[in-house]
Homo-oligomer: A and B are copies of this chain.
Amino acid sequence: MTFVEACRAYKETHGSLPCEVTILFEGEEESGSPSLKPFLEANAAELKADYALVCDTGMWDRETPAISAGLRGLVGEEIVVTAADRDLHSGMFGGAAANPIHSLSAILAGLHDAEGRVTLDGFYDGVEETPSQIKAQWETLGQTAEKFLGEVGLSVPSGEKGRSVLELIWARPTAEVNGIWGGYTGEGFKTVIAAQASAKVSFRLVGKQDPAKVRVAFRTYVKSKIPSDCSVEFHAHGGSPAIQLPYDSALLNTAKMALSDEWPKPAVVIGMGGSIPIVGDFQKMLGMESLLVGFALSDDRIHSPNEKYDLQSFHKGIRSWIRILDALAA
């Protein structure tokens, strides 16, 4: 909306925009954008432009605008470990029959080493170190593990040791178990040895990590940990590579200056722990570099009851886009 209002205001004031603009609305992002990629394919010629301006991101804080340069990719896998051909009584079979929850626990526990690094073969291939001047800039933001984790009742960063919390969530890959289930999970107790146990596991990717290779490495690892008389099934749930935009490009520096003129504090270049897969498609299918600028605030309660969009974000957001449009057209 801020961008549309910016275009309207620009036209009202100057009679026309300083450059040609195509506005693309996406209404299916929360359900995986099933129509967007086919639409890009069908309309590639018309949609192709110098840059894609993407506004689905946020500010660093109320005074500091931000440009996102990295978006983590994602690989999702569901695994089902099967042992016996039926649930067993642990009195009759306990201590002799394979328990698939034991295998699954060992598999999941073995995904990280003592340093918090993911153990899959070749997992860090394509992971690039964040340039030291960018890390230095992130350090000036004053974020700490205590502050960041304190908001959700935690205090100790998990994951890779020796990395700042911003680096961990913006620029490092992860393995997270998102769900696990097996055996008796109701009230009370049943001394059952389950026939099956399942888990959903996802990997956040950075840099040039290859989702297909990570999936293969995961499956190879899991198979190596399954007892010979048990079996495992895999179900793939999406895979998209990370997107790393240059930390230092003409586009980014132009936008940085334009934003810094509008807000009390200069713009910062940050990362994003989540994914916006369409940015990768803009790059691959239309050859377009993206600029990720948005004005959401951390207290906007995105996807939650009482979601809001700040009036200051709205007004200064409009003014920000006008400055960026002007600067890019110049």
A: residues with CB less than 8 A from B are 72, 74, 76, 78, 83-86, 88-99, 101-102, 104-106, 108-112, 145, 148-149, 152-160, 165, 168-169, 172-174, 176-185, 188-194, 197-200, 202, 204, 227-230, 237-238, 272-275
B residues near A202, Cβ cutoff 8 Å: 90, 94, 189, 191
B residues near A85, Cβ cutoff 8 Å: 152-153
A-B residue pairs in contact (CB < 8 Å), sample of 23: A72-B91, A84-B152, A86-B153, A90-B178, A91-B274, A92-B273, A93-B169, A94-B169, A94-B204, A95-B158, A96-B145, A96-B159, A99-B158, A102-B112, A105-B177, A178-B183, A178-B190, A178-B191, A179-B183, A179-B194, A180-B182, A183-B200, A189-B238
CA separation between A101 and B109, bound complex, in Å? 9
Copies of this subunit: 2
A93 adjacent to B273 (CB under 8 Å): yes
CA separation between A92 and B166, bound complex, in Å? 10
Query: Of B101, B156, B179, which contacts A177 at CB under 8 A?
Result: B101
11 extra A-B contacts, CB within 8 A, seeds A94-B176, A95-B172, A96-B158? A84-B153, A90-B273, A94-B202, A95-B158, A95-B174, A96-B145, A149-B229, A179-B185, A179-B192, A179-B194, A181-B185
B residues near A157, Cβ cutoff 8 Å: 96-97
Residue of B nearest to A189 (CB): B237
CB contact under 8 A between A102 and B156, given known A96-B165, A149-B229, A168-B95 = no
A179 adjacent to B190 (CB under 8 Å): yes
Residue of B nearest to A237 (CB): B189
Query: Of B108, B154, B188, which contacts A101 at CB under 8 A?
Result: B108
Residue of B nearest to A108 (CB): B105
CA separation between A76 and B192, bound complex, in Å? 12
Looking at A84, A153, A172, A202, the one whose CB has the most chain B CB atoms below 10 A away is A153
Query: Of B90, B156, B168, B180, which contacts A176 at CB under 8 A?
Result: B90
Residue of B nearest to A101 (CB): B177
B residues near A72, Cβ cutoff 8 Å: 91
CA separation between A188 and B86, bound complex, in Å? 25
Residue of B nearest to A177 (CB): B101
Tell me, rounded to whole Å, the shortest Cβ–Cβ distance linking A223 to chain B: 16
B residues near A95, Cβ cutoff 8 Å: 158-160, 168-169, 172-174, 176, 204, 273
B residues near A179, Cβ cutoff 8 Å: 101, 182-185, 190, 192, 194
Looking at A72, A165, A177, A193, the one whose CB has the most chain B CB atoms below 10 A away is A177
B156 adjacent to A98 (CB under 8 Å): yes
B residues near A274, Cβ cutoff 8 Å: 89, 91-92
A93 adjacent to B152 (CB under 8 Å): yes
B residues near A181, Cβ cutoff 8 Å: 180-182, 185
A101 adjacent to B191 (CB under 8 Å): no
CB contact under 8 A between A98 and B204, given known A92-B273, A183-B180, A185-B180 = no
